[in-house]
Chains A and B, each alone.
Chain A
């Protein structure tokens, strides 16, 4: 990705002005989230939109594409003012938005989803063969090896995102807006997506691109607009900007130290041991030790079985063999309650699907996992409110007001709430799966420091992450998995990207290392 950055140094903005928004304002209830925001999109440019969680990026692009109506302000498309009644209206004018959240019908197939609402027909009947061929062609263009007849619910998230992208591409956009398309993609898929974006740029499509990954912005974008707390901060060429500059513009201050100092004591007692754990078809004979106060990273490519291993440990997935020892004593963990009793908590990577109740407010979400602590027979509202108060302060959760549905929160605030929810049951061991998906750089740093605080208090953390910097920056030791097996345990100087990739792709020859340490 690094060398691709050169491409961005082309002359900025050569095409004609396609879409121009002026003084866009938007409030939800009493909370104003956009203040007089302007933005211009030119044909043939990739325009990045940057900002912290909750800065209003998604809201802005939803307004541009007709999904929300602005409270005031003007949108000009090709020289004439427009006002869309709906997102269909926007799409009819060639403005296509890929939403931050996936918008696919779970029970339908890939092909049915791609052509949802604009099915190909022959006479009165659906032309399934034609749609299947076209879907296969689109997916092949994305080098995506999915059968168009697969149901969406059977696909991993990254493939779902690729389907979403295929769907958007099939709509022949003039103006394509991508809201954090890469949050759930792997490196290879990101490269493929970028190839497509470059091709569209050459065809004169105007592209608005939102991401929290500053590397990506450097690699793909020509210009960048920065929002902070709903206000426009700057729009400038990417060429002259370093990642630190972008971070500073977003956050409004320097980020002094991204990661906490590592302090794990290598001779601390072992608090959790897993021995010979297998999950049929997913994990084979896995074992490891976790020490008090350490961050133990689990690295590996998608499908390596890390999540399956963790879910098996906490009783969410049936295991065919294996023993778990807590402080040296064997324990039986058959469900999450047992895990909770052993002081183990799990933070899911799927915060919308299995983490938070999106249609509810903050309070019931926060206390759900630790509900028993808030009253045996009657729930103690006062205690709940106090806990909420504390969590909002401790995790710096920023929400317009307490009655906002959690589903309307920005991604970063959802993630902080999820973290608060898990910590509410005061676990000694926290298993954290992808803690910073779709999270801005400032909040990331905050979350890293929360994790640092946990270990400083003597709690232990198991970290699963596909972000290499995060894995290297936080972990005291790193266990690498490939194809369901533990292939390496990296300690001290060995914790390098190179070593991780070597073990993760199975290039190393020492298969099935024994547990030590």
Chain B
């Protein structure tokens, strides 16, 4: 009563438009308007489909990162993990062509290898963090170096190329479409929906929130904290593996520079989307929008001469900082 100005956004009036929740979405709309104004080609269906397809890699990885971060962890190894899994897939499939031929079986086995490796790598990150009681930052910094050097070793310092014989079989997983929608976009959407359901509608998701917001309380609430935390890293590994499966047919190669800085882009997407870096609050849809935003920025810079494309990183960085500042502004107002 009588103070609607002071704390709008938390009350009945604020529920119609929850600015905090809608923030990333409105920013994305603004970016699209900007893009359309800068270049007519921006809104062409070819360009839009390009944006969504490209954001699928980071987006899928970022959905996994949302779980890890919501439960109070962090995973810096995802970029290297993607590179390592790509390399392993290529090596396995190239080898299998000799015995199995260049058919669907080979691709399926490659995919199986990817999933197993992703889950295993995630489990390693999770178990070392929880069993060893080491900061996730340190553990994943370590595995980041390990996975990266493993792919360099497998490629002997050069590039691993997928055998041309199998490229045609594998190709549709990136270049194909379902009802006109590119396969990566369909996969991205499916992963996001699955992630949303898991994080927001299941006991598992609720436990992630609880652990991220106060581990001690979670422990006193009969939650197996270590198990749940490990599972978040496994989910992250699985997401990396899915992203890799659709990434490999795109270039058909892997080298030590594959997936470099993906971890930062994934974390950035998560944070722009409104998930709290210190844990306890996560939003899958925010993450999806964050990933699309990051790709859109690069796309717009490609379409304009006003700012050099080389400044892509600077613009992304700026957007990340502004996004976090906006979240911060909210709690300052609330405190007073």
Q: Measured between C-beta atoms, what is the minimum distance from A7 to chain B in Å?
A: 39
Which stretch, A28-36, A226-234, A278-286, A300-308, touches the partner chain B? A28-36
Instruction: Indicate if A335 sits at the interface (CB-CB under 8 A).
Output: yes
Complex Cα gap A77–B219 (Å): 47
Interface size on A, residues (CB 8 A): 39
Q: By the criterion CB–CB under 8 Å, are B1 and A379 in contact?
A: no
Can you list 20 contacts pairing A with B, beta carbon distance less than 8 Å? A29-B7, A32-B1, A69-B336, A71-B2, A86-B336, A336-B222, A337-B224, A353-B216, A354-B217, A355-B220, A358-B214, A359-B281, A360-B209, A367-B206, A368-B223, A371-B203, A371-B206, A379-B201, A379-B203, A421-B221
Most buried by B among A336, A337, A367: A336
Which A residue sits closest to B197, measured CB to CB? A378
Complex Cα gap A32–B217 (Å): 30
Residues of A within 8 A of B10 (CB): 29, 403
Q: By the criterion CB–CB under 8 Å, are A71 and B220 in contact?
A: no
Task: Contacts A316-B220, A346-B220, A369-B222 given; indicate if A364 touches B202 (C-beta within 8 A).
Answer: no
Which B residue sits closest to A356, measured CB to CB? B217
Q: Which chain B residues have a beta carbon within 8 Å of chain A's beta carbons?
A: 1-3, 6-7, 10-12, 197, 201-203, 206-207, 209-210, 213-214, 216-224, 280-281, 336
Task: Contacts A29-B11, A30-B1, A371-B203 given; indicate if A354 touches B222 (C-beta within 8 A).
Answer: no
Residues of A within 8 A of B197 (CB): 378
Task: Contacts A337-B222, A359-B213, A369-B221 given; indicate if A27 touches B203 (C-beta within 8 A).
Answer: no
Interface residues of A in 317-361 (CB under 8 A from B): 335-337, 339-340, 346, 348, 353-360
Which B residue sits closest to A351, measured CB to CB? B217
Instruction: Indicate if A275 sits at the interface (CB-CB under 8 A).
Output: no
Q: Which chain A residues have a beta carbon within 8 Å of chain B's beta carbons?
A: 27-30, 32, 68-69, 71, 86, 316, 335-337, 339-340, 346, 348, 353-360, 364, 367-369, 371-372, 374-379, 403, 421
Complex Cα gap A364–B12 (Å): 21
Q: Measured between C-beta atoms, what is the minimum distance from A405 to chain B in Å?
A: 10
Q: By the criterion CB–CB under 8 Å, are B6 and A71 in contact?
A: yes
Which A residue sits closest to B220, measured CB to CB? A354
Q: By the criterion CB–CB under 8 Å, are B210 and A364 in contact?
A: yes
Looking at the complex, which one of A336, A346, A375, A421 makes contact with B202 (CB distance below 8 Å)? A375
Q: Measured between C-beta atoms, what is the minimum distance from A212 to chain B in Å?
A: 24
Complex Cα gap A335–B202 (Å): 23
Q: By the criterion CB–CB under 8 Å, are A27 and B3 in contact?
A: yes
Q: By the criterion CB–CB under 8 Å, are A355 and B336 in contact?
A: no
The total number of A-B Cβ pairs within 8 Å is 91
Q: Measured between C-beta atoms, what is the minimum distance from A424 to chain B in Å?
A: 10
Which A residue sits closest to B1, measured CB to CB? A32
Q: By the criterion CB–CB under 8 Å, are B213 and A28 in contact?
A: no
Residues of A within 8 A of B210 (CB): 357, 360, 364, 368
Looking at the complex, which one of A355, A372, A403 makes contact with B203 (CB distance below 8 Å)? A372
Complex Cα gap A260–B284 (Å): 50
Which A residue sits closest to B4, measured CB to CB? A30
Q: Measured between C-beta atoms, what is the minimum distance from A157 to chain B in Å?
A: 14
Which B residue sits closest to A69, measured CB to CB? B336
Task: Contacts A348-B220, A353-B216, A356-B217 given; indicate if A379 touches B11 (C-beta within 8 A).
Answer: no
State the main secondary structure of chain A at its contact with B: loop
Looking at the complex, which one of B2, B202, B214 makes contact with A27 (CB distance below 8 Å)? B2
Which A residue sits closest to B201, measured CB to CB? A378
Q: Measured between C-beta atoms, what is the minimum distance from B11 to chain A in Å?
A: 4
Q: Measured between C-beta atoms, what is the minimum distance from B267 to chain A in Å?
A: 21
Q: Measured between C-beta atoms, what is the minimum distance from B106 to chain A in Å?
A: 35
Q: Measured between C-beta atoms, what is the minimum distance from A243 to chain B in Å?
A: 35
Looking at the complex, which one of B6, B11, B202, B336 makes contact with A377 (CB distance below 8 Å)? B202
Complex Cα gap A336–B224 (Å): 9
Q: By the criterion CB–CB under 8 Å, are B224 and A30 in contact?
A: no
Q: Measured between C-beta atoms, what is the minimum distance from B331 to chain A in Å?
A: 10
Q: Measured between C-beta atoms, what is the minimum distance from A37 to chain B in Å?
A: 16
Q: Measured between C-beta atoms, what is the minimum distance from A150 to chain B in Å?
A: 21
Complex Cα gap A160–B221 (Å): 25
Complex Cα gap A376–B201 (Å): 11
Residues of A within 8 A of B224 (CB): 335, 337
Residues of B within 8 A of A403 (CB): 10
Complex Cα gap A364–B205 (Å): 11
Residues of B within 8 A of A346 (CB): 220
Looking at the complex, which one of A32, A68, A354, A356 makes contact with B219 (CB distance below 8 Å)? A354
Complex Cα gap A469–B58 (Å): 61
Which A residue sits closest to B211, measured CB to CB? A357
Q: By the criterion CB–CB under 8 Å, are B206 and A368 in contact?
A: yes
Task: Contacts A30-B1, A30-B12, A378-B201 given; indicate if A357 touches B206 (C-beta within 8 A).
Answer: no
Q: Measured between C-beta atoms, what is the minimum distance from A334 to chain B in Å?
A: 11
Which B residue sits closest to A348, measured CB to CB? B220
Task: Contacts A359-B280, A369-B221, A379-B202 given; indicate if A68 touches B11 (C-beta within 8 A).
Answer: no
Residues of B within 8 A of A340 (CB): 222
Which B residue sits closest to A376, measured CB to CB? B203
Q: Measured between C-beta atoms, what is the minimum distance from B152 to chain A in Å?
A: 39
Complex Cα gap A11–B322 (Å): 60
Q: Measured between C-beta atoms, what is the minimum distance from A307 to chain B in Å?
A: 12
Task: Contacts A29-B7, A30-B1, A337-B222 given; indicate if A355 touches B202 (C-beta within 8 A).
Answer: no
Looking at the complex, which one of A68, A71, A335, A378 makes contact with B222 (CB distance below 8 Å)? A335
Q: Measured between C-beta atoms, what is the minimum distance from B201 to chain A in Å?
A: 5
Given contacts A360-B210, A368-B206, 7 further A-B contacts (CB under 8 A): A32-B1, A336-B221, A364-B209, A368-B218, A369-B221, A372-B203, A379-B206
Looking at the complex, which one of B1, B213, B217, B223 makes contact with A355 (CB distance below 8 Å)? B217
Q: Measured between C-beta atoms, what is the minimum distance from A331 to chain B in Å?
A: 16
Q: Measured between C-beta atoms, what is the minimum distance from A312 to chain B in Å?
A: 14
Residues of A within 8 A of B209 (CB): 357, 360, 364
Which A residue sits closest to B6, measured CB to CB? A71
Which B residue sits closest to A86, measured CB to CB? B336
Residues of B within 8 A of A339 (CB): 222
Q: By the criterion CB–CB under 8 Å, are B207 and A371 in contact?
A: yes
Q: By the criterion CB–CB under 8 Å, are A68 and B336 in contact?
A: yes
Which B residue sits closest to A408, measured CB to CB? B334
Most buried by B among A340, A360, A374: A360
Complex Cα gap A348–B218 (Å): 12
Top 5 A-B residue pairs of the complex, sorted by shortest distance between their CB atoms: A336-B222, A29-B11, A354-B220, A368-B221, A354-B216
Residues of A within 8 A of B1 (CB): 27, 30, 32
Which B residue sits closest to A25, measured CB to CB? B2
Complex Cα gap A358–B223 (Å): 17
Complex Cα gap A337–B218 (Å): 12
Looking at the complex, which one of B11, B207, B223 makes contact with A30 (CB distance below 8 Å)? B11
Complex Cα gap A379–B201 (Å): 5
Task: Contacts A30-B1, A340-B222, A348-B220 given; indicate if A364 touches B280 (C-beta within 8 A).
Answer: no
Residues of B within 8 A of A354 (CB): 214, 216-217, 219-220
Residues of B within 8 A of A379 (CB): 201-203, 206
Most buried by A among B221, B223, B280: B221
Residues of A within 8 A of B222 (CB): 335-337, 339-340, 369
Complex Cα gap A415–B210 (Å): 19
Q: Measured between C-beta atoms, what is the minimum distance from B161 to chain A in Å?
A: 43
Complex Cα gap A350–B111 (Å): 49
